[in-house]
Amino acid sequence: MADVILSVPDMSCEHCERTVRGALGPLEGVRSVTVDLRAKQVRVAYDERLVSVDRMKDALRQEEYPVASSTQA
């Protein structure tokens, strides 16, 4: 298991949070998604054998929430 913190500057409301959770939650290997709207960050616990950070970024980009940066937690 691994954790990553994704910086998503375009998040601003509960709709954004639901969209981000909906984009990442169903990905195989994602164990949990925690959104911090105030910090504009998403913390994802995931199995790196099943899903990559690039795949998560792609899923968010498709929902028009591009990731500005990512940091392993």
Residue-by-residue pLDDT tens, the chain, 73 positions? 999 999 999 999 999 999 999 999 999 999 999 999 999 999 999 999 999 999 999 999 999 999 999 999 8
Between CA 27 and CA 39 the distance in angstroms is 23
**Rounded Cα–Cα distance for residues 11 and 67 (Å):** 10
44 with 2: CB under 8 angstroms? no
Confidence (pLDDT) at 73: 85
Encode pLDDT of 43-58 as tens digits.
999 999 999 999 999 9
Domains of the chain plus CATH, in order, are: 2-72 (3.30.70.100)
Q: How far apart are CA 5 and CA 63, in angstroms?
A: 18
Give the whole-angstrom CA distance, residue 60 versus residue 63: 5
* pLDDT at res. 30: 98
